[in-house]
Amino acid sequence: MQDFLFDDFKPSCTRETWILRQQLLQRVRTFFAERNVLEVETPVLSRACGTDPNLDYFKTFAKCNASDPERYMMTSPEFHLKRLVAAGFGDVYALARSFRKDESGVRHNTEFTMAEWYRVGMPMERLMQEVEELCSEILGRDIHAKRTRWVDAFKNYAGIDPYDTRAQSWKSCCEQHGLPLFDYDEFRIDEWRDYVMALVVEPALGMDGGEFIYDYPPSQAALARTEVGPDGLPCAKRFELYLGGTELCNGYQELTDAVEQERRFAEDQEIRKSLGKETPNEDRRFLAALQHGMPECSGVALGLDRLFALALGKKHIAEVMLFPDEIC
Return the SS3 of 300. strand
Q: Which residues contact 9 (CB under 8 A, 6 or more apart)?
A: none
Q: DSSP letters along 42-81, please?
A: --SEES-----TT----EE---SSTTPPPEEE-S-SHHHH
pLDDT value at position 231?
80
Q: Which CATH architecture describes the domain 15-145+206-320?
A: 2-Layer Sandwich (3.30)
pLDDT value at position 48?
92
Q: What is the largest CA-CA distance in the chain?
A: 69
Domains of the chain, by residue range, sit at 15-145+206-320
Determine the Cα–Cα distance for residues 168 and 185; give it in Å rounded to an integer: 15
Determine the Cα–Cα distance for residues 264 and 167; give it in Å rounded to an integer: 26
pLDDT value at position 328?
83
| Cβ(157)–Cβ(119) below 8 Å | no
Determine the Cα–Cα distance for residues 25 and 20; give it in Å rounded to an integer: 9
pLDDT means over runs of 10, the chain (328 residues): 63 96 98 98 93 91 70 95 98 97 87 97 97 97 94 96 91 91 73 92 92 94 90 91 95 96 95 92 95 97 97 95 91
Strand partners, 224: 254
| Cβ(135)–Cβ(241) below 8 Å | yes
Determine the Cα–Cα distance for residues 26 and 169; give it in Å rounded to an integer: 49
User: Angle, to 10 degrees, between the axis of helix 304-311 and the axis of helix 124-139?
Assistant: 40
Q: Which residues contact 96 (CB under 8 A, 6 or more apart)?
A: 42, 44, 74, 76, 77, 113, 114, 116
Run of H or E residues at 71: strand 71-73
Q: Which of 325, 317, 323, 305 is nearest to 12 (CA)?
A: 323
pLDDT value at position 186?
67
pTM of the model: 0.93
Determine the Cα–Cα distance for residues 203 and 280; give it in Å rounded to an integer: 32
Cβ atoms within 10 A of the Cβ of 271, count?
Answer: 18
pLDDT value at position 1?
42
| Cβ(123)–Cβ(298) below 8 Å | yes
| Cβ(116)–Cβ(78) below 8 Å | yes
Pairing state of beta strands 297-303 and 111-120? antiparallel
